[in-house]
Chains A and B, each alone.
Chain A
């Protein structure tokens, strides 16, 4: 019994010491600006996802560049979607980046940075389905990822929470259900759609984009309401877009030059 208590005490001490050294390391980093707590949900390839346990992606590289430009230290933690929302809303985290699209409803609960990514939607459907524009999905069963702007875009066509919209937990499940025949089409971000088609050459699907039906969406960094670091981050973001660092990161992840006209403020 005694041995157990001793062992536990040693363990506790080790944890305390480990925490202590962590803190002091942050403070020694030479900046008078505070260390920001950044949260994400690493489940949105290629923006933020796990590669052998490490959080990587376009968002993560951009985050590093923005933080350096703005002169902040930061700690990044992959906490999952709901926990991410809660900790930003309650101000436990200073910001979140996870390919979050900015819209009016979300602005009621959070502050957002100026847009850092422009995205459009694509319709993926089983070959043979006669779909040439966004309006053609009106009478079909359409799958989306719950809570995404793809879901919202489809609701504009089929009606809010319409019966023939199926909201899935992830894009992967929505696309699997497309293959299994649960739904006739899936609407999702162009990046996700391209990635899926490239990775599943045997899937008998086609995809189209329709700029007339689907307006561009913009991703933003999410802050708690009334955040005082938003200005710094926005300024750093603009600098990166103007000096070409943004284009560099973009090209690295998506292989093409970005059109930054819409992102410049």
Chain B
């Protein structure tokens, strides 16, 4: 089987453009996902069931349906109804943010609940209020414990952004499909796509390893 480098060379600038968009969408998705996820975790941990309920179902829906279906729903139905107008890139970012917020919420919740109850009780007895306990005692420890699963979630999210190709967001896979469609060839475009995602996820892995070491006080 021959390997046609000319296809890769021809599409290289497009792949680079697509890589930029993939990074942009993923970074915003991760940040929004973390911020949202934090509040959703707190909501789900509420002791009042009526407060807890919407958060529980938010997580149920976003974890219990396929991401591609969510993307179609948000892009073609929800966002046009809610904000009137959307672009493929906005839809991908919103869908990734919401989807990852559900997973991040569970990661944070697990992290918070893994801290021994005695610590909160001890802090309370020192005169700290609920907010201070959270801010100074629980969060720092929970965050440290959350870093490895969060890293995992980021890598998944980065790869999931490739679903944007289905609604013509011009990211890496979009250009892979374009090249494949033009020449009716599968190997060259998709190997290139695979390589680019590998570079991104490996970069992220090393970055996360570094962060993990930084936070490791032991």
Please determine whether chains A and B interact with each other in the same assembly: yes
The residues of A with any CB-CB pair to B shorter than 8 Å are 82, 85-86, 89-90, 100, 105-106, 108-110, 143, 146-148, 151-152, 161, 163, 166-169, 173, 176-177, 180-182
Chain B 161-178 per-residue mask, 1 if CB under 8 angstroms from chain A, else 0:
000011110100011011
Q: How far is the CB of A173 from chain B (nearest CB, A)?
A: 7
A33 to B115, CA, bound (A): 73
Binding-face segment, B48-56, B136-144, B179-187 = B179-187
- Residues on the B chain within 8 Å of A109, using CB: 183-185
A180 to B74, CA, bound (A): 12
A11 to B183, CA, bound (A): 43
Q: Is the CB of B85 within 8 A of A181?
A: yes
**Interface SS of B by simple majority:** helix
- Total of A-B residue pairs, C-beta within 8 Å: 73
- Residues on the B chain within 8 Å of A143, using CB: 168
Q: Is the CB of A90 within 8 A of B1?
A: yes
- Residues on the A chain within 8 Å of B174, using CB: 146, 167
A182 to B175, CA, bound (A): 19
Residue of A nearest to B85 (CB): A181
Residue of B nearest to A106 (CB): B184
Residue of A nearest to B183 (CB): A105
Q: How far is the CB of B162 from chain A (nearest CB, A)?
A: 12
Q: Is the CB of B182 within 8 A of A182?
A: no
Residue of A nearest to B180 (CB): A147
Ranked 3 nearest A-B pairs via Cβ: A147-B181, A166-B168, A146-B181
Q: Does B149 sit at the interface, judged by CB under 8 A?
A: no
A147 to B183, CA, bound (A): 8
Q: Is the CB of A85 within 8 A of B177?
A: no
Q: Is the CB of B168 within 8 A of A177?
A: yes
Q: Is the CB of A168 within 8 A of B183?
A: no
Residue of A nearest to B14 (CB): A161
A166 to B181, CA, bound (A): 13
- Residues on the B chain within 8 Å of A166, using CB: 88, 168
Q: Does B20 sit at the interface, judged by CB under 8 A?
A: no
Q: What would 14 more interface pairs be, CB under 8 Å, given A85-B185, A86-B186, A161-B178?
A: A100-B184, A105-B182, A105-B184, A108-B183, A109-B184, A109-B185, A146-B174, A147-B180, A147-B181, A151-B181, A167-B177, A168-B168, A169-B177, A181-B80
A182 to B89, CA, bound (A): 11
Q: Which of B47-92 contact A (CB under 8 A)?
A: 75-76, 80, 85, 87-88
- Residues on the A chain within 8 Å of B180, using CB: 82, 85, 147
A161 to B18, CA, bound (A): 12
Q: Is the CB of B168 within 8 A of A147?
A: no
A68 to B93, CA, bound (A): 53
Q: Is the CB of A106 within 8 A of B183?
A: yes
Q: Is the CB of A182 within 8 A of B87?
A: yes
A108 to B181, CA, bound (A): 14
Q: How far is the CB of B197 from chain A (nearest CB, A)?
A: 17
- Chosen A-B contacts, 22 in total, with CB atoms closer than 8 Å, are A82-B190, A85-B180, A85-B186, A106-B184, A146-B174, A146-B178, A147-B177, A147-B180, A151-B178, A166-B168, A167-B168, A167-B174, A167-B178, A167-B181, A168-B168, A169-B166, A169-B177, A173-B166, A173-B168, A180-B75, A182-B87, A182-B168
